Amino acid sequence: MALPLRYSFRNVLIRWRSTFATVLGIALVVFVFVLLQSLAAGIEKSSGNTGDPRNILIVRKGSTAESASLISRGNLREIQYFEEIARNERGEPVISADVLVLVNLPRSDGSGEANVLLRGISARGVELRPQVRLVEGRWFTPGKREIVVSSRLAKRFANFGTGQSFKTGTATLTVVGWLDGGGSAFDSECWMDADECRSIFERDLYSSFLVRPASEAAGVKLLERIEADRRFKLKAEKEVEYYRRQTMTAAPIKWLGGFLAIMMSVGAVFAAMNTMYASIGARTREIGTLRVLGFRRRSVVLALLIEGALLALIGGVAGCAVAYLWNGYTTATMGFETFSEIVFEFTVTPRLMAEGLVFAVLVGLLGSFLPSVRASRLPVIAALKSV
């Protein structure tokens, strides 16, 4: 016969004083695990959220990142007349030849400098990226040294307010507006006119082309055509797929989260074992009584295991809850692909919380297994006699 669940449950509640530290320990293990994984999830979400499924991104064959790619103007002249590319109402091909430049700028809090990704876009650049909205000011005027910065970067870098200006290279750029990338990788970029950008930074070449094919079928054809044409040495792929692969920055954070979680859970298992041993030691007589009443060994083991798991679960829920407070909080680090500051949000997904809870329960089960087996093996008479 199994012990009622209430036995395990009430045990956890009644002994809260002695188990509090253990619960706290497990809560913090889960908290750290969920928080670090939520950073990685935030980076992945931001890049996974980027791009329009209709668009095709063209970069140089061999370059793994758009920012390290170089494409000649000759290529632009040819590709823009491909019949696979959509045309807008004025008959212009929907293609944006972009140039990406890394610019080292001072932070607004004076804590040093960091690289910002500056994207020079052509006239069709904005309409190709409908997820990017203007939230303040206006778009830049082509041919002028004006720039629209991400509103999230604006909080982090000096002189990024609308109307302010900053110097880079030989040029002074005036901030005329703020853009919002809607939680995409564009939240970590500043946009300006491509030709101005090329002249300021002495770039003869473009970095990438973003095109909108006329139809789904035309898109497939375009991918094949660029791949097959030996003259180009270019690689075309769907924009969303390109961004989905940009997860190099998340990898070490995931690794660190896993490493910390494993190391800390070893400590937490020890602590849980200690607590459970003590808690069982204190009720030797009670367990003896249970056995005399006819509860079998495995019922006792099961009840104690459930007690340990419950204990850990409370810790796990607390840890998840605290981690969830950070959900949506914006932070930044250096992206490995772009080598520039990337802004993203802590993203505590339900999956991460579930993982954290499973993790906590595992710690609880591991920590209470040996103590509960020991309790069930106590000779009944001796247990009853113990004080």
Q: Which residues bind other proteins (CB under 8 A)?
A: 18, 20-22, 24-25, 28-29, 31-32, 35-36, 39, 60, 62-65, 67-68, 70, 101-104, 107, 111-115, 168-170, 201-202, 233, 248, 252-253, 256, 260, 263-264, 266-268, 270-271, 273-275, 277-278, 282, 331-334, 339, 341, 387
CB closer to other proteins out of 106 and 142: 106
Please, what is the minimum distance in Å from the beta carbon of residue 1 to other proteins?
30
Least distance (Å) from other proteins to the CB of residue 129? 23
Q: How far is the CB of 43 from other proteins (least distance, A)?
A: 10
- 3 state DSSP class of 2: coil
Q: What sign for the dihedral angle of Cα 270, 273, 279, 282?
A: negative
Instruction: Return the number of other C-beta atoms located less than 10 Å from residue 296's C-beta.
Output: 14
Q: How far is the CB of 157 from other proteins (least distance, A)?
A: 11
Torsion-angle region of residue 144: left (phi > 0), alpha (psi -120 to 50) or beta? Answer: beta
66 is written with which tokens? 């758009």
Strands of the chain, DSSP E = 56-60, 95-106, 113-121, 133-137, 146-150, 165-168, 171-180, 189-193, 208-211, 234-238, 330-334, 341-345
How many CB atoms sit inside 10 A of residue 11's CB? 19
* Main-chain phi, psi angles of 295, to 5 degrees: -70, 140
Select 35 or 57, whichever has its Cβ closest to other proteins.
35
CB of 331 to other proteins, least distance (A): 5
Residue closer to other proteins by CB (options 317, 332) is: 332
Work out how close the CB of 15 gets to other proteins at its nearest, in angstroms, rounded to a whole number.
12
Other C-beta atoms closer than 10 Å to the C-beta of 63 total 15
**φ and ψ of 134, to 5 deg:** -90, 125
Record the tokens describing residue 195, joined without a space: 């030709």
- Closer to other proteins by Cβ: residue 60 or 212: 60
Phi, psi angle pair for 135, to nearest 5°: -105, -15
Nearer to other proteins, 215 or 331 (CB): 331
CB of 214 vs other proteins, minimal distance in Å: 30
Minimum CB distance to other proteins, residue 227 (Å): 17
Beta bridge partners of 317: none
CB closer to other proteins out of 39 and 352: 39
Paired with 172 in beta bridges are: 167
Q: How far apart are CA 265 and CA 28, in angstroms?
A: 10
Distance set, CA 79 to CA 97, 210, 238, 281, 320 (Å)? 10, 11, 16, 79, 51
Q: Decide whether 115 or 289 has the Cβ nearer to other proteins.
A: 115
Q: How many helices (H) and strands (E) does the chain have?
A: 12, 12
Q: Cβ 253 to other proteins, closest distance in Å?
A: 8
206 neighbors 68 (Cβ within 8 angstroms) = no
Tell me how far apart the alpha carbons of residues 228 and 387 are, in angstroms, rounded to a whole number: 85
Min separation Cβ 242 and other proteins, Å: 14
Q: Based on CB atoms, which residue is closest to other proteins, 82 or 201? A: 201
Cβ closest to other proteins, residue 69 vs residue 85: 69
Q: What is the rounded CA–CA span in Å between residue 251 and residue 303?
A: 40
Nearer to other proteins, 197 or 313 (CB): 197
